[in-house]
Amino acid sequence: MKPESTRQLVGEALQKAENILLVSHIRPDGDAIGALLGLGLSLIQAGKTVQIVSRDGVPPNLRFLKGSERVQRSVTGMARLIVVVDCSDLERTGNLLEGEMVDVNIDHHITNLHFARYNLVEPTAVATSAILAECLPEWGLPMDASVASALLTGIITDTIGFRTANMNPAALRLAADLMEKGAHLSEVYRRGLVQKTFEAARFWGAGLMRLQRSDSLLWTTLRQVDRQEAGYPGNDDADLVNMLSGVDGDVVVVLNEQKSGKIKVSWRARPGLDISVLALQFGGGGHPAAAGAEVPGSLSDVEHRVLEATRKFLDEKAGTNGKGNA
């Protein structure tokens, strides 16, 4: 008899469970919310009791998604199947699950630590939402327009509008399937990716003013005072790093000062480089082309350490590869 695949085992666990807790990562992106709502709404439609938790809530630009009002910021109650989505490690949940055994880990990060009983980790998937878009029908779970819109949001935001190097024909077909199920591509694209608030644009301005370059490395900082002056309410970078990944260079780094005293570091690399190893060195994780870490220390101290390590990484690549080779 063929052994059951992880997909099958996770499907069975979800079918059996009555009471399910879904959790994703802090400073949630479109894939975190897309995967939470896509799976959450589908399970609710299948008659389950579901608690959907994101420590930092739902970013305002994603609140157009149906079901976002159901998202809680903390866990209440107990006795349930615990499912974590789009998190490479448990700290990413904002330590919402301290001391709990996680049942299911659904993710696509190459740096995933396989922290659960069942680890459905597929690093070739463009988004956790893409894994779910394939799996929900396999698991016999419903997919209406609201589920499809949530999952399409995850695919579009993680691939920055179908343009990251890991894009593949299957992901485009999945997106087409989701459109056929009722997802509204242009709305998801506009709200999830393109439209920015006035405050976000002003916050970008502070980061753009300080943009620096040394050889093929670009970097900038976002400070708490920039956030206040711009009136930007989020604790993320308002997507500045993705915008800067379009500027000529090999690697771009954004160092984003957090209230916690830590510095959120985001790296983006041109195709052919794998900066997830750098993020891992700093206790974070991610993908070859996009990775992040939360590093304790002052902005200037972390900036110094991170830039030094990133320069060393680029120098070693230049030594082995020849500079500019993909």
**Distance between CA 54 and CA 275 in Å, rounded?**
27
Using the minimum distance from each CB to ligand AMP, give the nearer residue, 147 or 265: 265
Provide long-range contacts, Cβ within 8 A and 24+ apart, for 138-141.
138/7, 138/11, 139/10, 139/11, 139/14, 139/15, 140/11, 140/15, 141/14, 141/42, 141/43, 141/45, 141/46
Binding of ligand AMP by 294 (CB under 6 A):
yes
Using CB under 6 A, which of 139, 143, 292, 313 touches ligand AMP? 292
Q: How many CA atoms lie within 13 A of 86 on its CB side?
A: 32
Using CB under 6 A, which of 42, 61, 159, 266 touches ligand AMP? 266
Using CB under 5 A, which of 10, 20, 26, 31 touches Mn ion? 31
Specify the stretch interacting with ligand AMP by CB under 6 A; choose among 36-44, 140-148, 213-221, 284-292: 284-292
Using CB under 5 A, which of 86, 103, 226, 303 touches Mn ion? 86
Using CB under 6 A, which of 35, 120, 291, 314 touches ligand AMP? 291
Structure tokens belonging to residue 12: 């069975």
Q: How many CA atoms lie within 13 A of 238 on its CB side?
A: 25
Angle at 200 between CA 196 and CA 203, to 5 degrees: 150
Using the minimum distance from each CB to ligand AMP, give the nearer residue, 260 or 298: 260
Helix or strand run (H / E) with residue 120: strand 118-121
Region 125-164 residues binding Mn ion, contact defined as CB under 5 A: 127-128, 158
Binding of ligand AMP by 287 (CB under 6 A):
yes
Using the minimum distance from each CB to ligand AMP, give the nearer residue, 146 or 237: 237
Beta-bridged to residue 295, according to DSSP, are 263
Binding of ligand AMP by 285 (CB under 6 A):
yes
Binding of Mn ion by 32 (CB under 5 A):
yes
Binding of ligand AMP by 92 (CB under 6 A):
yes
Q: How many CA atoms lie within 13 A of 16 on its CB side?
A: 10
Using CB under 6 A, which of 36, 85, 290, 314 touches ligand AMP? 290
Binding of ligand AMP by 293 (CB under 6 A):
yes
Using the minimum distance from each CB to ligand AMP, give the nearer residue, 146 or 245: 245
Using the minimum distance from each CB to Mn ion, give the nearer residue, 45 or 235: 235
**Distance between CA 23 and CA 94 in Å, rounded?**
10
Cα 219 to its chain centre, rounded Å, is 21
Beta-bridged to residue 269, according to DSSP, are 251
Binding of Mn ion by 107 (CB under 5 A):
no
Binding of ligand AMP by 310 (CB under 6 A):
no
Using the minimum distance from each CB to ligand AMP, give the nearer residue, 50 or 125: 125
Separation of first and last alpha carbons in the chain: 44
Binding of ligand AMP by 222 (CB under 6 A):
no
**Distance between CA 129 and CA 135 in Å, rounded?**
10
* Per-residue exposure over 111-145, b if at least 16 CB sit within 10 Å of its own CB, e if not: bbbebbebbbbbeebbbbbbbbbbbbeebebebee
Using the minimum distance from each CB to ligand AMP, give the nearer residue, 128 or 146: 128
Residue 270's contacts (CB-CB under 8 Å, 6 or more residues apart) are: 249, 250, 251, 289, 326
Using the minimum distance from each CB to ligand AMP, give the nearer residue, 141 or 241: 241
Region 60-89 residues binding ligand AMP, contact defined as CB under 6 A: 88
Binding of Mn ion by 239 (CB under 5 A):
no
Specify the stretch interacting with ligand AMP by CB under 6 A; choose among 58-66, 218-226, 279-287, 318-326: 279-287
Question: Which residues are near Mn ion by CB under 5 A?
Answer: 29, 31-32, 86, 127-128, 158
